Amino acid sequence: MTSVHSARYQQFLQRLRAARVESGLTQVEVARRLRKPQSFVSKCESGERRVDAIEFADMAKLYGKPMESLVEGAGKTGGR
């Protein structure tokens, strides 16, 4: 099955999940801290649910990562 998300977004999702794992947190722990159900974290990481800017900022802070590190290369499209 082909993903509906661009390669860049898929890479973002991989980095987001890796950041959670590197921080030593489970999906359940992240969900609890964000006051969301565990399925919210799972759906965000799998691409079933888009991550909005506020949620992204909250996750990056929770993982102790600068937001830029999770969207690395996002601005490198060859244009500007």
For residue 62, the domain's CATH number is 1.10.260.40
Q: Is residue 31 part of a domain?
A: yes
Tokens of residue 51, six digits: 């991550």
Cα 24 from Cα 3, distance rounded (Å): 28
Q: Domain range spanning residue 26?
A: 14-67
Residue 1 has pLDDT above 80, yes or no: no
Q: Is residue 30 part of a domain?
A: yes
- Virtual CA dihedral for 56, 57, 63, 67, nearest 10 degrees? 90
Q: Is residue 47 part of a domain?
A: yes
pTM for the structure as a whole: 0.82
Q: Is residue 2 part of a domain?
A: no
Q: Is residue 78 part of a domain?
A: no
Residue 4 has pLDDT above 70, yes or no: yes
Tokens of residue 59, six digits: 């996750």
- Virtual CA dihedral for 42, 13, 63, 33, nearest 10 degrees? -20
